[in-house]
Amino acid sequence: MSFSLDNICYTWITIPILLITTFVIYFKWKYTYWEKHNVPFIQPQIPFGNLENSFKRKTPPCIEAKNFYHEFKSKGAKHGGIYSFGTPVYIPIDLDYIKNILSTDFQYFTERGRYYNEKDDPLSAHLFNIGGKRWRSLRTKLTPTFTSGKMKTMFLTLLECGKILQNAVEESYAKTKPVEIRNFAWKFTTDVIGSCVFGIECNSFANQYADFPKYGKMLLKGSPWEAARMAFIFSFPNLAKSLGIRRFDKRATDFFTNIVKDTVEYRESNNVRRNDFMQILIDLKNTPTVDVEGDGEALTMEQLTAQCAIFFIGGFDTSAAAISFSMYEMARNHEIQQKVRDEINEIMVRYDGKLTYDGLTELKYMQQVIDETLRKYPSLTILNRQCVETYKIPNSDVTIEKGTQILIPLMGLHSDPDYYPDPDRFDPERFSPENKKARNSFSYLPFGNGPRNCIAMRFGIMQVKTGLCMLLKNYKYSINPNTKEPLELDMGVMCCAKDGIWLDVAKI
Ligand code: HEM
């Protein structure tokens, strides 16, 4: 009896010791990767690698990535390697390396290496996540969705949503209440995307369809658990897939799947057609289109739903962030604000006092303000790629192996004083035609670059410009003391102010 007790104790002590030793040896071995590949690296810690402990996180991931960039850059490195848990991640710093990855040698980097799980989490199999031939075929099918003709027809919907936004500002002004611009922008873009993608009038300001913004937030929220889950998924995608781990919350998935199903059924059985993304997707579902890959297959209902999800995720938060940060910077700098307002009025006079799609494209100074906003606050703070075929970096002895994750930290690039002197200063003149021409275009990537850039860049800009016109035409803004400065950023990978941005409103 005593012998077997001893045995049990012995087993209980040796098994954990063996497990911990194996674990440590495994990570130590993993952490030799960049040294062996002759790539400069930052010393990792077991088990998080170079990432901050997800459960005690104090630094938003976008700032963490920015710090990696500056650390490598300050050492004069053209690139560097870090570890996400045990997974090596390659960070290009040199603009030629970045250009090669995104554009010139794109065929080696066609994937984002993002996790998706079509079986357990059908919403995750969307254009942003998928790769290879399926991505190329879908991208070709969806590209015509964003032609100027289609943008023009959707502009009318944007104007309708813009009027609701304007009424909300008027209401706050009448009650002498400050506006929380992040929330206002967010409601405006939710209305736009709800209408253009799902064909639903959300009227977020009146709080009908209150579930819509709620579930939208759920698709994006960055809780500590969420951050840990994402880090796990990023580091062990195959294990995550076999464990059936979901990228999206089940409740949000069910909510959006049901909305899409109901809308498609309603339109098809009542022969209703609208000028929106949903209609284009329904047409793609019902009409097989032959593309460059020779894929004549129509979109399935699951694929349609997943594309609605990415149009929603990609469409509302990115543009809302751009609107709210632009407004924040303009509330701090009244001269810039007035210059934008003057330009809006000038263009409107030219178009019979109306805001038109063509007029919007002529707002050149406003475009510079948006460009500068997206430099300081790129909505998506990181670009990802995955190497799909072993690649030798030109004029170097370094090889990037197939399967390697690539990370391009936009906040690092955009705050590099070599490209943007005094980077914390908000200065739209950086984007005057002459200054833009004088700079390497790969130092500015708010919409990415190359064949996998943002498919909806023009729609995003149209949405931001419409929102800004509606906000600035009749009102002046200044910072309300409720705004905590300097602004702190949210813990997600999206660039978003953590606390509210409160602005006082005055009439012109
Ligand atoms: C200010 C607004 C926006 C910003 C700053 C933005 C930014 C980005 C960025 C940085 C990427 C990754 C590009 C790359 O990896 O090279 C991207 C991809 C994408 N965006 Fe946007 N976006 C915006 C608006 C939108 C809107 C309105 C939609 C949809 C309605 C959208 C849908 C997408 C999709 C589907 C992709 C994936 C493209 C692909 O992989 O082929 N985005 N966006």
Task: Classify 384 as helix, strand or coil.
Answer: strand
Rounded Cα distance, 105 and 91, in Å: 16
- Ligand 1 residue neighbourhood (C-beta within 6 Å): 127-128, 139, 310-311, 314-315, 318-319, 322, 374, 379-380, 383, 446-449, 452-456, 459-460, 464
Rounded Cα distance, 231 and 85, in Å: 8
Low pLDDT (below 70) residues in the chain: 1-5, 207-210, 213, 217, 219-228, 231, 234-235, 289-296
CA 353–ligand 1 middle distance (angstroms): 32
Is position 9 annotated in a ligand binding site? no
The DSSP bridge partners found for residue 142 are none
CA 401–ligand 1 middle distance (angstroms): 27
Give the 3-state secondary structure percentages of the chain, helix then strand then coil, rounded to 5.
55, 10, 35
CB 122 within 8 A of CB 254: no
CB 134 within 8 A of CB 297: no
CA 476–ligand 1 middle distance (angstroms): 31
Helices 277-286 and 250-270: crossing angle in degrees, nearest 10, is 70
Task: Classify residue 102 by its DSSP letter.
Answer: I
Q: Which domains does the chain have, with CATH numbers?
A: 118-380+415-507 (1.10.630.10)
| Atom 28, ligand 1: residue with shortest CA distance | 315
Give the pLDDT score at 292.
Answer: 47
Q: What angle do CA 372, 376, 380 make, to 5 degrees?
A: 105
Rounded Cα distance, 407 and 157, in Å: 36
- As given in the structure block, the two tokens for residue 331 are 């509330």
Residues near 474 by beta carbon (within 8 Å), at least 6 away in sequence: 166, 507, 508
Phi-psi region of 26 (alpha: psi -120 to 50; beta: other; left: phi over 0): alpha
Give the pLDDT score at 226.
Answer: 64
Q: Spell 350-380 as b/e; 16+ CB within 10 A means b.
A: eeeeebbbebbbebebbbbbbbbbbbbbbbb
CB 203 within 8 A of CB 209: yes
Give the pLDDT score at 205.
Answer: 85
- My answer on whether omega of the bond before 428 falls inside 30° of 0, hence cis, is no
Give the pLDDT score at 115.
Answer: 81
Atom of ligand 1 nearest to the CA of 112: 15
Atom of ligand 1 nearest to the CA of 196: 30
Sequence-distant contacts of 267-272: CB under 8 A, at least 24 apart = 267/199
Q: Spell 178-199 as b/e; 16+ CB within 10 A means b.
A: bbbbbbbbbbbbbbbbbbbbbb
Mutation test of ligand 1: which of 371, 454, 458, 463 has the most ligand atoms closer than 8 Å to its C-beta? Answer: 454
Atom of ligand 1 nearest to the CA of 142: 35
Task: Classify residue 294 by its DSSP letter.
Answer: -
CA atoms within 13 A on the CB side of 333: 15
Give the pLDDT score at 222.
Answer: 46
